[in-house]
Amino acid sequence: MIVAYDGIRAALNPSGLGNYSRFILDAVERHLPAIEPHVYLPLSDGSGLYQPQGRARLQHPHRWPGGLLARTLWRRRLARRVAADGAAVFHGLSNELPVRLHSHGLRGVVTIHDLIYLRYPQYFSAIDRRLYDRRYRRSVAEADRIIAVSQQTADDLMRYYGAPAGRIDVVGQGCAPFFYEIERRPAPQPLVLYVGAFDPRKNIALIVEAAARLQ
């Protein structure tokens, strides 16, 4: 079965959503031989940060220069091409599905990572909040299945977008094998390890405060 995947984040994003997309695509290639993955990329050639294992077919339907508006236009033209390539299902790996999937006979699965722009709007500009809300709300409404990466995200989907619980599956994010292969060394002193971006919405100040109280 051909399953189409949104490769935008896998190709262009070096952190969070990009890591998730690359992990899923790699896992599909390695462990699901019944699936023929088609990865749709917004590049004229190549795969950017995404390095396929060999089974994935890279598709380059339309090039776009970047930015939210261009990304939206790219997705508007995508469903027809995906259907013509023979896919049965499209999996949006980063909160969004192409427009008019069902009118082209496609089923849609979307992974929603969070609705932080609704929970903490102070961290986002007004235009970003409107764009995210419009695009993600539509994708949630049109998806046949919704993957939430946490129970909190599932609860937010039901609270803010009225998503039916029966269409939501909570599937935690995976962890690449090399993270389990760390050489164990005794720490010279007690430490706290934080992995993530230095961004106010990551609540890093609370980690620093808690660590100070533990000393």
Predicted model pTM: 0.84
- DSSP letter for each residue of 49-118: T----SSPEEE-------SHHHHHHHHHTHHHHHHHTT-SEEEESSS---TTTGGGT-EEEEEE---HHH
What residue spans define the domains of the chain? Answer: 2-179, 181-214
Fold of 2-179: Rossmann fold (3.40.50)
Q: Looking at residue 84, what is its pLDDT?
A: 94
Q: Looking at residue 188, what is its pLDDT?
A: 75
Which residues of the chain, if any, have pLDDT below 50? none
